[in-house]
Amino acid sequence: MSKLVVEVFSKKGCCLCKEAKDVIGRVKCELPFYLKEVDISANDDLFRRYNDHVPTVYINGKKSFKFKVDETEFRKRVRKEIIKAGLLRVWNKANLPTR
């Protein structure tokens, strides 16, 4: 079973990051996904790459939001990925070779 992964690249003291994480937290109470928070301050390469671009949110490895996370749109995109994963599982089961 594949997991739906939401990654949030953020840094301490960033008010936009806090707002984004609050939105994501509210949606997480309703929909199942794995949340990975990445503090860019802990890694020089990530800090250089994302310093002026936080928060950046990826859904299943796809860049989905930067700076602001719209709650309705985030919920919609997470649901879409959940549905896609469910359909993929059904398709994989239907196409298993029979003995």
Superfamily in which the 5-94 domain is placed by CATH: Glutaredoxin (3.40.30.10)
Say what the pLDDT of residue 13 is: 93
Asked if the model's pLDDT at residue 48 lies above 80, the reply is yes
Say what the pLDDT of residue 37 is: 96
Say what the pLDDT of residue 91 is: 58
Burial of 18-53, coded b for 16+ CB within 10 Å and e otherwise, reads: eebbebbeebeeeeebeeeebebbeeeebeeebeee
What pLDDT digit, counting tens, does each position of 86-98 carry?
766 665 666 666 5
